[in-house]
Amino acid sequence: MIFREAEDRELAGRARKGDLDAFNALVSRWETRIYNYLLRITGHADDALDLCQDTFIKAYQNLARLEDPARFGPWLYRIAHNEAMSHLRRPQRETELDDAAAAAMRASLAPVEASLAVEAALARLSPEQREAVILKVYEGFKFDEIAAILNCPASTIKSRVYTGLELLKEALAPVRPPEGS
Amino acid sequence: MPCADFDWKGFVLNETPPDQRRIMEEHLKGCAACQREVEALGLTLVAVRQLPQHPIPRRLAFVSDPVFELPWWKRIWRMPAPAWGFASALVVAIAILLHGQMAPPPVPQAAQADPRAIERAVQAEIERRLPAAVEAAVRTRLGAAAAQMEARLAEFEKRAEERRRADLRDVNAAFELLQKRINNVYLASARYGGD
């Protein structure tokens, strides 16, 4: 994480000076994580891809506003979050996972039952809880970093993550991997 | 410390400070209920993290791709503030240089100079220029009269010289006549017995 921040700082610093190759390198480093974050929030592969593209375009246009280049990651997630929220506020064509996204999410999972159970458990969380859990469990951010990304108090984030984790624990109890696996 | 006071979710999520974590680890060794809670939370996280990251379906367009190339006026408009500042300073510097090259030399400021020094300088300049200017003016205005006067003077001198020579000739002639008469007297006296 420290190395990633150091490299992000250098790349973001160069990108702020107009080095397009440096920004392209940042895109390559973060696109998969941002795409998966958006995919888990929106549930639509195409929407996630479009939002991912918009996120990086806005990041490039607003690079001058990035106060600390070492914090490029949380800053990028904040842009992605804002893009996702703007998208979710628009009328949606459907609320469930589209077929392509659902197929993609299930494709690489084994066993299938476990992945279905995890998806179902995540779907039972409120959008706020789900996003906080995603940022904590999948992206590995600290509570204060998530608070900065979502623009709300760290205590609220902690509450959302704890509640979400408790709900996931209850929902996944029957399919948890057996002890020692 | 009772079990309920321990934040086991923070423990499994690595949000517990190191000193608190050591205390909780010590408690965990001797508490079966807390061990079950931590195990359940840990297995939940393992299950949730089984969802893998999906590869991005297609390559994102880079900002360096031609599709994102901005027109020239937008590129100028998006220049950062330091670049605008530098460009402005450059334009001002060029304007100052051009002004310096094209404008007349600066006039000394009267307020900054010593009045006595100025007076002395003006006086010296007048004294330096005045004789030549007067001579030039006199030469211009009196040149013709002077030439005429010189011509008249030359003519007068010429006439005076001619009159002097004429007078001299008359004197010589009178002297010769007188000498002849004296000679005649000498001759007459000698003829009649005189010395």
Q: Considering only the top CATH level, what class is A1-98? A: mainly alpha
Predicted local distance difference test score (pLDDT) of residue A2: 56
Please list every residue in chain A whose beta carbon sits closer than 8 Å to the beta carbon of residue B85.
none
Which among B81, B69, B59, B76 is positioned nearest to A60, based on CA atoms? B69
What's the fold here for domain A109-172? Arc Repressor Mutant, subunit A (1.10.10)
Residues of A with CB below 8 A from B50's CB? Answer: 109, 114-115, 118
Residue carrying structure tokens 């973001």 = A12
Q: pLDDT value at position B52?
A: 76
Calpha distance A36→A6 (Å, rounded): 23
Lookup: tokens for B125: 């300049």
Instruction: Indicate the DSSP class of residue A63.
Output: G
Other CB atoms closer than 10 Å to residue A159's CB: what's the count?
14
Question: For chain A, what is the radius of gyration of the CA atoms?
Answer: 17
CA distance A162 to B41: 11
The whole-angstrom separation of Cα B117 and Cα B137 is: 29
Across the interface, whether the CB atoms of B51 and A137 are under 8 A apart is answered no
DSSP character string of B24-80: HHHHHHT-HHHHHHHHHHHHHHHHHTTSPPPPPSSPPPPTTSGGGPPPHHHHHHT--
pLDDT at A1: 54
CB A167 within 8 A of CB A125: yes
3-state helix, strand, coil in chain B (%, to 5): 75, 0, 25
Please give the radius of gyration of chain B, using alpha carbons only, rounded to the nearest integer: 64
Which pTM was predicted?
0.56
The size of the A-B interface in CB pairs under 8 A is 107
Q: Can you tell me which residue has the tokens 């893998």? A: B52
Q: What is the pLDDT along chain B (195 residues), one digit of tens a residue?
A: 677 788 999 999 999 999 999 999 999 888 999 999 999 999 899 888 888 778 888 878 776 666 666 677 777 777 777 788 888 899 999 998 888 788 676 666 656 668 888 889 999 999 999 988 888 887 787 878 888 888 999 999 999 999 999 999 999 999 999 999 898 888 888 878 755
Nearest by CB to residue A177, choosing from B47, B58, B60, is B47
CB contact under 8 A, B9 and A176: no
Is there a contact between B44 and A49 if contact means CB atoms under 8 Å apart? no
- Smallest CA–CA distance, residue B113 to chain A, in Å, is 51
* Closest CA of chain A from B19, distance in Å: 18
pLDDT of residue A109: 44
Nearest Cα to A118, choosing from A94, A102, A98, A99?
A102
Q: Mean pLDDT of successive 10-residue segments in chain A (181 residues)?
A: 72 87 90 92 89 93 87 92 88 50 47 76 91 92 92 94 93 63 45
Cis peptide before A74 (omega within 30 of 0): no
> CB B62 to CB A64 under 8 A?
no
What are the extents of the domains in chain A?
1-98, 109-172
Q: Look at B44 and A168 and tell me if their CB atoms are within 8 Å.
A: yes
Cβ contact A114:B50 at 8 Å: yes
Taking phi over 0 as left and psi of -120 to 50 as alpha, with beta for the rest, B71 belongs to: beta
Predicted pLDDT of residue A98: 46
Q: Indicate yes or no: CB of A49 within 8 angstroms of CB of B43.
A: no
Say what the ipTM of the complex is: 0.73
Distance from CA of B72 to the nearest CA of A (A): 15
